[in-house]
């Protein structure tokens, strides 16, 4: 799934590019949209479950600047017994050329909101996640 984000002044730091911490916000915004779009958010809320990031590995490739139109692409990359991981890229398209700005792998667990304890990924939760593994690979830029 692709989420569009336009870079505005409040995203820019003193060096006139998007601050590194803002990329994490861009990625999180896209993950929320991705969860909503795949109806996973409704399932989680209905079942009193939440998602908690436990590891983030981010690569910064190029700086994004004021008024850049960025596309954040997200896909589920792996489902384990207790954790899963999402792979995302931020891409800038300018003058017909796509440039990789950043990519990230986020590992997360599902927790029962009442107890804050992680749960095994099985049953209905697994059924909701498995279709997301197929992703939209054709939109990603190949990373060497």
pLDDT in tens, 3-56: 899 989 888 888 888 988 999 999 999 999 988 988 899 999 999 999 999 999
| CA dihedral (98, 132, 104, 33) positive or negative | positive
Return the closest-CA partner of residue 119 out of 49, 37, 46, 28. 49
- The pLDDT tens digits of the residues spanning 60-82 come to 999 999 998 999 999 999 999 99
Predicted confidence (pLDDT) at residue 138 exceeds the cutoff of 80: no
What is the model's pLDDT at position 107? 98
For the chain, domain boundaries: 2-132
Specify whether 138 is catalytic: no
What 3-state class would DSSP assign to 35?
Answer: helix
CA atoms of 75 and 96, how far apart (whole Å): 24
- Within 10 angstroms of residue 100's Cβ, the number of other Cβ atoms is 16
What 3-state class would DSSP assign to 104?
Answer: strand
Q: Exposed, middle or buried by CB within 10 Å (0-12, 13-18, 19+), for 95? A: exposed
Catalytic residue from among 13, 68, 103, 138: 13
Exposure class string for 4-17: b at 16+ Cβ within 10 A, else e: ebebeeebbeeeeb
pTM, to two decimals = 0.89
Fold category of 2-132 in CATH: Thiol Ester Dehydrase; Chain A (3.10.129)
Predicted confidence (pLDDT) at residue 112 exceeds the cutoff of 70: yes
């Amino acid at each position: 799934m692709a989420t569009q984000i336009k870079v505005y002044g409040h995203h820019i730091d003193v060096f006139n590019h998007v601050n590194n911490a803002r990329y994490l916000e861009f990625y999180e915004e896209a993950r929320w949209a991705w969860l909503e779009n795949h109806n996973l958010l409704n399932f989680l809320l209905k079942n009193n479950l939440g998602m908690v990031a436990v590891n983030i590995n981010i690569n910064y490739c190029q700086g994004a600047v004021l008024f850049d139109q960025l596309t954040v692409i997200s896909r589920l990359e792996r489902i384990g017994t207790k954790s899963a991981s999402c792979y995302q890229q931020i891409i800038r398209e300018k003058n017909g050329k796509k440039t990789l700005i950043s990519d990230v792998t986020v590992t997360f667990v599902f927790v029962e909101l009442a107890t804050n304890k992680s749960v095994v990924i099985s049953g209905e939760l697994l059924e909701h996640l498995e279709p997301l593994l197929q992703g939209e690979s054709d939109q990603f830029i190949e990373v060497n």
